[in-house]
Structure 1
Amino acid sequence: MRGRTTLELATALFYFDKKTRVQQLIHNLKYRGQERLSAFFGNWLGTELIEIEAYQHIDCIVPVPLHNRRLKERGYNQVAGFGKAIAKALEKPYCDTVLYRKKATRTQVFLNRGLRSTEVIDSFDVLETESLAGKHILLVDDLITTGGTVEGCAIALQKIPGIKLSVAVMAIAD
């Protein structure tokens, strides 16, 4: 993501590789209805982040949103529990009403690296820009593969004057 967006801080709980337990866990969370894993991962990472001084300067936690159609299909946003648990650990607000997904995209799991990145780049927008002006936002997601989702969210969030952006994810893939 270097050169595509500016991040203050970035962290991941796991390294994601195919045919590993991490892949199984993420797939269980996203595709097999095991929503409880979201909060479990958030509690785990939250206990790590409270020990790091730089994360004390976060002002709010913002989850990567699902499109309404995907939310209806799945029944939950797989990063909501993750974000809420991190917000609780850091004693910061959880803000899930600022960023939204304006464009439905197909599932990224079957796309190649190039298509994943371009598929989501213009899929996000913000509802309002005043409440988070000048704030340090921690964007949370489940998995970073190409960085396209984070970049799309960053582009939308940069409409908010003076923000700083950091990212925390469950896993990062190579």
Structure 2
Amino acid sequence: MSVLKQREDLYYLYYYTDIKKIIFDLKFKNRKGISDSLSKYVRVSIEKIVEKERIDVIVSVPINKRRFLERGYNQVDEILKSSNIQFESIERVRNTEHMYRLKSRKEREQNVRNIFKIEKDYSQKNILIVDDIVTTGSTLKELERELLENQGVKNVVFFTVAVVREYFK
């Protein structure tokens, strides 16, 4: 059973330590079917967020091209598809290091700086960004920066399946 939780602009279902193996298997063991198991909780949660925050567009966090070729899929897209959630994709224009290899928040922020290319006009829209796991939030914050500074969106909120506890410190 999962209950949607919220801290400021981040909505989440689990602490990473509680579902670490599930996330790892989805991302690195080619177990796309795990997204089906998560879909019920994700769908109900996102529907609540869409209503509460008056979301206009849901955007999945893209993985880089190298990881897509290795994995064959974007795990966030798979979760959203399994949940029957309509979403839009944006382009990740540069490959980055795995975030788990970078220890400091500054290294992670530099790793993701200017990695997104957004061609669609999202001006004055309320955006929900969806990811599978949030560690430092660097990727989400970079996407938010891009949307706010270059797209003129009205508001950005986030949803993730899992968040590490240290994110809130």
Query: Same fold per TM (> 0.5)?
Result: yes
More moved, 30-39 vs 117-126: 117-126
Scaled by the length of structure 1, the TM-score of the pair is 0.79
Residue 11 of structure 2 is aligned to residue 11 of structure 1: yes
**Secondary structure, counterpart of 2:158 in structure 1:** strand
Q: Which amino acid aligns with 2:42?
A: L
Residue 4 of structure 1: aligned partner: none
* Residue range with higher mean Cα deviation, 43-52 or 142-151: 43-52
Whether contact under 8 Å (1:135, 1:164) holds in the other structure is yes
Q: After TM superposition, give the deviation of residue 162 of structure 1 in Å.
A: 3.3
The AA in structure 2 aligned to 1:167 is: F
- Runs of at least 5 residues in structure 2 that lack an aligned partner in the other structure: 1-6
Q: Quick check: 1:94 aligned with 2:87?
A: yes
Report the equivalent of 1:144.
134
Larger deviation, residues 132-141 vs 156-165: 156-165
In the TM superposition, residue 86 of structure 1 has moved relative to its aligned partner by: 5.2
Taking a change above 3 Å as real, the CA distance of residues 137 and 125 of structure 1, as seen in their structure-2 partners, is same
TM alignment of 1:58-69, pairs within 5 A: 58-69=55-66
Aligned length: 156
What is the CA distance between 1:62 and its match in structure 2? 0.5
Q: Which amino acid aligns with 2:87?
A: Y
AA partner of residue 48 (structure 1): S
For the aligned residues, what is the CA RMSD?
2.2
**Higher helix proportion, which one?**
2
Q: Which amino acid aligns with 1:135?
A: K
Counterpart for residue 169 of structure 1: 160
Residue identity over aligned pairs, in percent, reads: 28
**Kept in 2: contact 1:125–1:157 (CA 8 A):** no
